[in-house]
Structure 1
Amino acid sequence: MADIVKQILAKPIQLADQVTKAVDEASSFKQECAELKSKTEKLVGLLRQAAHASFDLYERPTRRIIDDTEQVLDKALSLVLKCRANGLMKRVFTIIPAAAFRKMSSQLENSIGDVSWLLRVSASGDDRDDGSLDNRSDAAASLVSLARDNDRYGKLIIEEGGVGPLLKLLKEGKIEGQENAAKAIGLLGKDPESVEHMIHAGVCTVFAKILKEGPMKVQSVMAWAVSELAANYPKCQDLFAQHNIIRLLVSHLAFETIQEHSKYAIASNKAASIHTVVNWLWRIVIMRL
């Protein structure tokens, strides 16, 4: 595994070195090239860190992220090489729009974020060898942090199969682990495609089980997660109703079995409570009557 990852990393590291060398030889757009060099040096530092940690990296996301990074560095090299043109006529006919540098700078920044994400996920993924509930809870907490930081990370978590283990932790974990898993699911459901993926993974069944017999603290987080998914993908409201999720939430409100959390802040410092969530869902029910 370590040898495979090192092979994957060899080409982008080589390209990054070529970019920094080409920048030193640039005769035009020196300021723009200097910015690209700075980001490329940061990126290659992370790539070398990944090469040293290759035994701990997950092969599948590593391949995807490094392939994308390699393409970005290849484009960066092509752009910087245009700035080495010698002679007046070459400089005149080598017109590079400012937008090209801004776009490349943004792509390098994204690659830096992606490789950083890969290193962080691999570092927090030690529970693949020790699948204790505590380790799984810590891993879920790390995913919460990553999903909150950047939408790109959330997409990667979903695409690399992170939903299934979170649902398993919701069903089998300790209270803290269940809370972390519920927070992660709520944060990951930021768009219809992501919510649909969760639905196909069985999120409705798990939600209903937790709301029916789970701990009150977990049910409170779950209520928030339900509101996030429903708000970001209104079509899932029907599925929530079919799985009795809305009825269970309203029942909790009626019998006051879930405690009020007046400042239950999870994402974007938004305050939510079970009463707010259920009232919102109850309006949906009324509208359908």
Structure 2
Amino acid sequence: MADEQEISIQQQLSLQILLSNRIVKSAKEAESSKSECTELSLLLHQLIELLVSLARLATTIPAAAFYDRPFRRVTFDLSKTLQRAFTLTRRCKHRKSAKNVIRSMFSISTSADVDKVSILLKTSIADLKWLHAVYDFNSGSFNISLPPMACNDPILAWVWSYIVVLHMGSMKERTDAAQELAAIALINDRNKKIIIDENGIGPLLKLLKESVTGEAQIAAATALFNLGNSRDRVRLIANNDNHGVSTIVKLLFEMPPMSVLVELVSLIWGMAEFDDVVKEEFGRQNVVRPLVTLLGMDSEDEVKKEEPKRTNSMHSVVLMNRQITRNVSGSVYGNSKSLNYGNRWDKEREREMESPEVKLKLKENCAMALWKLVKGSLLNGKKIMETKGLLVLAKIIEKEKGVLQINCLMTVMELAAVAEYNGELRRTAFKPNSPVAKAVLDQLLRVINEDKDPHLLIPAIRAIGCLARTFPAKEARIIEPLVALLGNGNGEVVREVALALGKFVRPDNFNCFEHSKAVAEFDGVAKLVELLRANKGSQFHVLLLLCYLAIHAGDNKAFEQAQVLSVFDGDTRHTLGQYPDLCDLFAKARQHLILYQAQAGALV
């Protein structure tokens, strides 16, 4: 197969026509099994006619549009059949004679071999007819029947057929083919592998890039989304010759209809979710900017009011994004300024007329894309700050409900998680006296104080915990609601609260002593003891938090009132057995409590 890839399809077909003619000649000269060889000759004549017809058809297909994988597979199988037929007819040329008694013993086996070759030739003829039907677009109908070679794997033949259409069909046919590939890819991972192995990514990206209809772009984006469910597949989309990431981002800047944007943004978050390398490439292509613009498209005026008066306000960013859209549109639709102006306003009118459901879905996807892009990415975190995306996120968390609100909370949470380990981002994005940071913090605290849904509480709590080192010593409005949530009935919420408070009172937090005292003052010690005695989930994080509190604020009466030493000596033994890493810290905390309580007793 590898050797055949080195020659063109036309050369391959020419060689097979020559070999077929030689076999016909050899069959006519047969001295044994003459009737069977005559049948082979008839089949070979049909085969030659089809090969000639395919050779002519191949010359009419532009090289750039010629998808040759089905051709290669059919001609490869045919080559093996023709070689077998040639060997057989040469055997039949030998005369039967008394001196060659052994050869006559094989006459029966020769007849059986002729039958097998006849079957193989008939199969090849059917495959060639299918190949002709698939590539002959002048017939007016697209053939999706199955060739004999696909009897054990029909998906392969269907994939070939649809990819051929993507290369050669009309826009309507290419759209239909992309929709079919999207459906096939959705069935299982094996189908995805077949589509990718048969070079289906390239024509899908080309359809996405070159289409003038929203339906075609939606079909291509959906198919690519369905294919990209693993790191390796996402990377193949990104590294394709059609430049997957830049193609997607360029189309996003062009601001196609919202229904197209919905699927395009889904493709972005799907790719970002599976591959960190592709995620960073999206960041370098500045995909965050249009995503923030789309997310805040209905709240520009409100964001403008809250943004400090600076040259890089949210309003100026929106205007900048619109100017970028105009420039990109000009490169796509021509150089006429009047035409660009008309196209731009046509698009804006189309967006205004979209249904609320489509707008909401687009915003949900944009928030999801920002969430996946910023997760673990300092580059994309900085991009969000450059576009003042935090204000947009804060406004949506305040005004919206459901999936959109959750996705925005998750974005803030992931941004805070990146900032936790990067001092520069933490200082610029979440500086306590910054209006932007204040707007975000207010919404996180509102969720913690007012909401009961764990899907909302958990990202808000995590975000606060990640930012623990940014808060000043006396920040009661943050510590108090977190401590109150230690009594929450949801085990996952309690675990997140214990983790978050632990970041406030750890030794690496400059204000750990003040924060520890605040936790004790808001009845945190009693709540933690209750959790330990109830032996509920998160025992490790609860005990860890209690140890830090004992070390930093063990002189508080709350420890004696809650009988923490008694708990340490009794109820925590099982937990320590499970987590030996806690032993040293536990011993230190216990020693502090003994010392503090002994001093308190001496004073009395």
TM > 0.5? yes
Higher relative CO (Cα under 8 Å, sequence separation at least 6) belongs to: 1
Aligned in 2, Cα 1:189/1:150: closer, same or farther, shift over 3 Å?
Answer: same
User: How is 1:1-289 mapped onto 2 (pairs within 5 angstroms)?
Assistant: 5=74, 8=77, 53-56=130-133, 112=152, 115-125=153-163, 127=165, 130-173=168-211, 174-201=213-240, 202-213=243-254, 214-256=256-298, 260-261=357-358, 273-281=364-372, 283-284=374-375, 285=381, 286=415, 287=418, 289=425
**For 1:230-252, what per-residue CA distance to the aligned partner results, in whole angstroms no more than 9, with x for missing partners?**
11223321111111112221221
Deviates more, 1:119-128 or 1:173-182: 119-128
User: What secondary structure sits across from 1:177 in the alignment?
Assistant: helix
Q: Against the structure 1 CA distance between its residues 6 and 237, is the aligned structure 2 distance closer, same or farther, given a 3 Å change threshold?
A: closer
Decide whether the 8 Å contact of 2:291 with 2:370 is kept in 1.
no
1:129 Cα deviation (Å)? Answer: 7.9
Distance 1:123 1:194 in 2: 22
Distance 1:182 1:160, change over 3 A: same
Q: Does the 8 A contact of 2:269 with 2:373 survive in 1?
A: no
C-alpha distance in 2 between matches for 1:161 and 1:125: 8
Q: Which amino acid aligns with 1:237?
A: K
> Cα offset for 1:5?
2.0
User: Matched residues in 2 for 1:132 and 1:139: separation?
Assistant: 10
**Letter of the 2:275 counterpart:** Y
TM-superposed CA distance for 1:118, in Å, is 2.1
Does the Cα contact within 8 Å between 1:5 and 1:51 map onto a contact in 2? yes
Give the length in aligned residue pairs.
197
Contact 1:169 1:177 in 2 (8 A): yes
Q: Which residue of 1 aligns with 2:9?
A: none
How much does 1:181 deviate?
Answer: 0.3
Deviation string 1:199-251 (CA, Å, 9 cap, x unpaired) is 11211111111211122211110111111111122332111111111222122
Aligned in 2, Cα 1:5/1:149: closer, same or farther, shift over 3 Å? same
**AA paired with 1:127?**
V
Residue of structure 1 equivalent to 2:29: none
Are the aligned partners of 1:189 and 1:229 in contact in 2 as well (CA < 8 Å)?
Answer: yes
For 2:285, the aligned partner's letter is: H
Q: CA RMSD in A?
A: 3.6
Over 3 Å counting, the alpha-carbon distance change for 1:282 and 1:190 in structure 2 is: closer
Deviations 1:32-83 (A, max 9, x none): xxxxxxxxxxxxxxx897576243569xxxxxxx7xx9xxxxxxxxxxxxxx
Partner AA of 2:249 in structure 1: A
User: Normalization by structure 2: what TM-score?
Assistant: 0.29
Distance, in Å, in 2 between the alignment partners of 1:159 and 1:239 is 24
Instruction: Report the residue type matching 2:244 in the other structure.
Output: V
CA distance in 1, matches of 2:165, 2:257: 24
CA distance in 2: counterparts of 1:168 and 1:11, whole angstroms: 35
Give the 3-state SS of the residue equivalent to 2:199 in structure 1. Answer: coil
What is the percentage of aligned positions where both structures have the same residue?
A: 28
Structure 2: 5+ residue stretches without partners = 1-12, 14-49, 52-72, 82-122, 136-148, 299-350, 376-380, 382-414, 420-424, 426-604
Match of 1:18 in 2: none
Alpha-carbon contact 2:162-2:180 (below 8 Å) kept: yes
Q: Is there any run of 5+ residues in structure 1 with no aligned partner, and where? A: 13-46, 59-65, 70-110, 265-271
Residue 135 of structure 1 deviates from its aligned partner by: 1.1
- Aligned to 1:244, the other structure's residue is in SS state coil
Q: Distance in 2 between matches of 1:197 and 1:7?
A: 27
Structure 1 residues 278 and 250: CA distance shift in structure 2, 3 A: farther
Contact 1:260–1:273 (CA<8 Å) still a contact in 2? no
Alpha carbons 2:249, 2:287 under 8 Å: kept: yes
Change (3 A) 1:275 1:263: same
Q: Classify the secondary structure of the residue corresponding to 1:220.
A: helix
Contact 1:186 1:225 (C-alpha < 8 Å) held by counterparts: yes
1:140–1:184: 8 Å Cα contact kept in structure 2?
A: yes
Structure 1: how far apart are the matches of 2:167 and 2:235? 30
Structure with the greater alpha carbon radius of gyration: 2
